[in-house]
Structure 1
């Protein structure tokens, strides 16, 4: 299997008030933290983002824009369409606002995907984290059809329609999601406590 990675950084960050990918946590941007977590686990890495893409030029990674922005699934579709011609078997996605993602995210997703009829698996701890998932490149056309159908583009709805397996992770904090400034402060406190 050839696994590529894509960091989903295309959200509007309304609740945070500024571009989440470039917000600093313990001196590093959330995008830098995501790169450090995912890059060692995949063959190639890219960033899914919208807007002024030049803001990510310093990271030296391919930047993938949505054809039609309809939430995280549009980023997943861009990822699959980027990866397939390069020979990838599947793409693992990681939301940029998940700075504590586990170091074994990709192997655990791959193991879970072996038990899924279409090879799709999502991360789960106390609850599901469908933006952290492994997506076989063969799902590109069904995903494009789903997005074009007018159905509300919910990641979990698509995943469940394609019989996604769950990769179980014991540590809920690994998927701590930063949506607000309060979340950011709490994450900073977690880092300082761990020192």
Structure 2
């Protein structure tokens, strides 16, 4: 485990999604012989000494022998991030959704290595921000809570209030040359393409 961040960062996996578009539980879709969530979990366990699952689904994840935290603001990924960040014992969390097809070790390491002096370290691709494979400091709690209490659930609307380091362009492509780090699965059609 990397000494530089293994003890400073808690891995937070968001498992509370309803999978409405998929029609079945995305976390447990088989890919390469195992449920999707286990790819993220294996990566996190290799890098962080603490891992939390966030979502109102304790029974579904009982076999993983990890804390499963109920969302304090149910119904959004931002609420899940807030829950994980508020419950973590470390100064930072690294958050990921449970439905990433190819969680990328090099991108994770690159984001964690840039954390000093920033409230958040977030990939930004040609498609926009990737707030659900990113690193956040405890200093994010207050602006996230204020936004949630206003009933706004955008996963990155509070970024202008923070000192954010974006990982972009060449920096990102060097770590993810295949461009697959942020492939997540939302529909049966997307899953069928990846499964093939």
The TM-score bracket by the shorter chain reads: 0.7 to 0.9
Label 1:115 to 1:166 Cα distance change in 2 as closer, same or farther (>3 A). farther
Give the corresponding residue for 2:73.
68
| More off after superposition, 156-165 vs 168-177 | 156-165
Q: What do residues 101-136 of structure 1 show as CA deviations (whole Å, max 9, x unaligned)?
A: 1112332112333363xx211123333211111110
Give the corresponding residue for 1:59.
64
Q: What do residues 108-166 of structure 1 show as CA deviations (whole Å, max 9, x unaligned)?
A: 112333363xx21112333321111111023223321221023x211121234324221
**Partners of 1:29 and 1:63 in 2: how far apart?**
17
| More off after superposition, 94-103 vs 167-176 | 167-176
Give the corresponding residue for 1:176.
183
**2:154 is the counterpart of 1:154:** yes
* Larger helix fraction of residues: 1
**Partners of 1:125 and 1:39 in 2: how far apart?**
26
**Partners of 1:38 and 1:17 in 2: how far apart?**
27
Question: Deviating runs (4+, > 4 A) in structure 1?
Answer: none
**2:116 is the counterpart of 1:105:** no
Q: Structure 1 residue 184: deviation in Å?
A: 1.1
**Length-normalised TM-score, structure 1:** 0.85
**2:141 is the counterpart of 1:135:** no
Kept in 2, the 8 Å contact 1:130–1:159? The answer is no
Kept in 2, the 8 Å contact 1:42–1:106? The answer is no
Q: What do residues 43-90 of structure 1 show as CA deviations (whole Å, max 9, x unaligned)?
A: 21111112x42110001111111122141111111101211xx3x010
Gaps of 5+ in 1: 190-195
Label 1:10 to 1:115 Cα distance change in 2 as closer, same or farther (>3 A). same
Kept in 2, the 8 Å contact 1:112–1:167? The answer is no
**Partners of 2:54 and 2:195 in 1: how far apart?**
25
> CA RMSD of the aligned region, Å?
1.8
Q: 1:1-195 maps to which residues of 2 (within 5 A)?
A: 2-50=8-56, 52-83=57-88, 86=89, 88-114=90-116, 116=118, 119-127=119-127, 128-150=129-151, 152-168=152-168, 169-170=172-173, 171=176, 172-189=179-196
Label 1:43 to 1:124 Cα distance change in 2 as closer, same or farther (>3 A). farther
Q: Structure 1 residue 181: deviation in Å?
A: 1.2
**Length-normalised TM-score, structure 2:** 0.85
